[in-house]
A and B are shown apart, each in its own frame.
Chain A
Amino acid sequence: GENVEQHPSTLSVQEGDSAVIKCTYSDSASNYFPWYKQELGKGPQLIIDIRSNVGEKKDQRIAVTLNKTAKHFSLHITETQPEDSAVYFCAATTGNQFYFGTGTSLTVIP
């Protein structure tokens, strides 16, 4: 089955700096790669996703890049704000089972 690894497990940045979280996957059949944000006491919420036919996608301060050859994808958050502090999960799927990374706890220091 698919194996998704995520790094780093914790990340602290100064407000206004950029944050990058990286994930690798093992199953070349995976074709959809979402990123979820989980705030304390809440369920994860989708923030951005990318499909395998695209190399990069951007939505305001958030971007995701995908390298299918190397089987890795990354989340980039620019101009970080305190409200970006949360746990972020990457995932990979072929459409049925979703495989999640172990999460990155991001802290943005004001």
Chain B
Amino acid sequence: GAGVSQSPSNKVTEKGKDVELRCDPISGHTALYWYRQRLGQGLEFLIYFQGNSAPDKSGLPSDRFSAERTGESVSTLTIQRTQQEDSAVYLCASSLVAGVPGELFFGEGSRLTVL
């Protein structure tokens, strides 16, 4: 596709349910990032992938959060047993070559609301 695509764009769930958020990066981009943005706040790093491996998972807030990437393309961020504090916009970004500084291309985000 032309850009980074995220789905769903909007998700409302009940506390305690699991959710999956999907990111389709730009074709050929080897690096993929997940960020969390709470209302009116900055970008909180969650995890990044070089290819299919995740060298840095230090930003994942708890063991309820996990992410995977397959085929050096699609990535899924899973939040288990959601809590109200998980409500935020989850942004995915990709860049051409991991480890070489260059532009991050962001998707429009998945807005998660936990009731």
On whether the beta carbons of B106 and A32 are closer than 8 Å, the reply is no
On whether the beta carbons of B108 and A32 are closer than 8 Å, the reply is no
Determine the chain A residues whose CB is within 8 A of the CB of B56 once the complex forms.
Answer: 96-97
Question: Secondary structure at chain B's binding surface: helix, strand, loop or mixed?
Answer: loop
Q: How far is the CA of A89 from the CA of B45 in the complex (A)?
A: 14
On whether the beta carbons of A97 and B45 are closer than 8 Å, the reply is yes
On whether the beta carbons of A31 and B101 are closer than 8 Å, the reply is yes
Q: How far is the CA of A45 from the CA of B109 in the complex (A)?
A: 13
A110: CB under 8 A from chain B? no
Q: Which of B33, B43, B45, B108 has the most chain A CB atoms closer than 10 A to its own CB?
A: B43
Number of A-B pairs whose CB atoms are under 8 Å? 55
CB distance from A50 to the nearest CB of B (A): 11
For A33, give the chain B residue with the smallest CB separation: B101
- Given that A42-B108, A43-B108, A43-B109 are contacting pairs, would A34 and B103 also be in contact in the complex, using a CB cutoff of 8 Å? yes
A80: CB under 8 A from chain B? no
Q: How far is the CA of A44 from the CA of B92 in the complex (A)?
A: 10
User: Interface 1/0s, chain A 24-61, versus B by CB < 8 A?
Assistant: 00000001101010000111111001010000000000
B107: CB under 8 A from chain A? yes
Determine the chain A residues whose CB is within 8 A of the CB of B48 once the complex forms.
Answer: 96-97
- Given that A43-B91, A43-B106 are contacting pairs, would A95 and B42 also be in contact in the complex, using a CB cutoff of 8 Å? no
For B35, give the chain A residue with the smallest CB separation: A100
Q: How far is the CA of A100 from the CA of B48 in the complex (A)?
A: 14
Q: How far is the CA of A91 from the CA of B68 in the complex (A)?
A: 25
On whether the beta carbons of B41 and A102 are closer than 8 Å, the reply is yes
Question: Which positions in B face A, CB cutoff 8 Å?
Answer: 4, 33, 35, 41-43, 45, 48, 50, 55-56, 91, 93, 98-104, 106-109
Q: In the complex, given contacts A32-B102, A43-B108, A98-B45, what are 7 additional A-B residue pairs having Cβ atoms less than 8 angstroms apart? A: A43-B109, A44-B106, A51-B101, A89-B42, A95-B98, A96-B99, A100-B45
Question: Which positions in A face B, CB cutoff 8 Å?
Answer: 31-32, 34, 36, 41-46, 49, 51, 89, 93-103
